[in-house]
Amino acid sequence: MSNETSSSETTPLRRPETQSPYNVAESGRQTTVNTTHTHGNGNNNNYGDSVEVRLQEGDRDSTQQQQQQTITMDTNKRILCRVGLDILILLCVGFPILLFFLLGDPYKRGFFCDDETLKHPFHDSTVRNWMLYFIGVVIPVGVIVIVEVIISQNKAKQDNGNATSRRYVLMNHDLPDWLIECYKKVGIYAFGAVVSQLTTDIAKYSIGRLRPHFMAVCQPQMPDGTTCDDPINVGKYIQEFECKGVGSSARMLKEMRLSFPSGHSSFTFFAMVYLALYLQARMTWRGSKLLRHLLQFVFIMVAWYTALSRVSDYKHHWSDVLAGSLIGSACALVVANFVSDLFQKPNTKPYLARTVQDMNASTPQGITITSN
């Protein structure tokens, strides 16, 4: 009996007659089978085994791709949820500040007509609002970004392409380390800034202390038509009065009751003290031991000058500036030491979701050595 068989003989892999003898569909995956002249039953068995192995590998690859896609979608969702939650928290803390600015009504406090501390002339601010925003927003954010980029570049040079730090991914794109660090550092700074400002505004609207230029801005008039120039009102505590406000805007008439504490002082002292603490923890350049301390001194002096200008411009009493400076400094110390991770040991738990490779990595198994 001849050992040669024709290609029309059936192979160990069975398939319906309606399908082509060259294609096999299994589990949604199509595998090509080439028929050749075989010799003996042993070759037919080997051929069937190879087809089965190829089908199993196809199913395994499809399952791994589905799992990887599911993990990737879960990773993106976790990152977006974390970012969205952080933004929501900032809005919850910052929204009352907007309400105070738009709808807040400060406490109505009376005065004495012979109070010399309320008779100073109105003076424009030396540190304008745009200067204040530059000091409190542009400078801190710019310094944080520059420092984090330099730290990331130096770390990349030291690793020499063999980075062992945890990677983060969003939409199948790896996020650089400096971007993650800037997000955390700037986010915590923003949280501390709005907390400091909210603390200041609560005190402002609750106390309603009159500014040193109150008389010049308000020009009070009593219900009987008299003013503070009339001798009848000398030494009398005035509670019922109206402001003629000649040359004064509605905003000025509202701001004249918001002297304590100083908002400029609290905001600049928080920004500059926090920035000085940030440099103390993150600036590790060894080129000069005095550069870091010089920058810290400059930043503190910026806050100090801003606070002093509020007194010389007759915007605040000295006690208002002192209280505002203490509030800002205290918030900066609390945020830097207890909210941020500037002076804490590195946390092994990731702040954001990791990459698929990191999440699939197996945990190293321990080795136990026993002796008889």
Which residue type occupies 65? Q
202: nearest Cα among 332, 338, 323, 305: 323
> Peptide bond preceding 261: is omega within 30 degrees of 0, i.e. cis?
yes
In the residue annotation, 264 being an active-site residue is answered as yes
Please, which residues have CB within 8 angstroms of residue 276's CB and are 6 or more apart in sequence? 295, 296, 299, 300
Q: Which of 213, 264, 293, 317 is catalytic?
A: 264
Question: Can you tell me whether residue 60 is helix, strand or coil?
Answer: helix
Q: Do 102 and 203 meet the contact criterion of CB atoms below 8 Å apart?
A: no
Q: Residues 67-75: contacts with CB within 8 Å, 24+ apart?
A: 68/356, 68/360, 71/356, 71/359, 71/360, 72/169, 72/172, 72/356, 74/353, 75/169, 75/170, 75/353, 75/354, 75/355, 75/356, 75/359
- Which uninterrupted H or E stretch holds 31? strand 29-32
Helix H segments across the chain? 40-103, 129-133, 139-159, 177-207, 214-218, 250-255, 263-282, 291-312, 318-334, 356-360
In the residue annotation, 123 being an active-site residue is answered as no
Vertex 161, ends 156 and 166: CA angle to 5°? 70
Please, which residues have CB within 8 angstroms of residue 271's CB and are 6 or more apart in sequence? 135, 136, 139, 140, 193, 303, 328, 332
**Angstrom distance (rounded) from CA 162 to CA 147:** 22
Q: Do 180 and 86 meet the contact criterion of CB atoms below 8 Å apart?
A: no
**Angstrom distance (rounded) from CA 194 to CA 132:** 14
Q: Which of 39, 120, 173, 316 is catalytic?
A: 316
Q: Which residue has the tokens 């991770």?
A: 341
Q: Do 220 and 256 meet the contact criterion of CB atoms below 8 Å apart?
A: no
CA 52 to chain centre: 53
Residues forming the active site: 264, 316
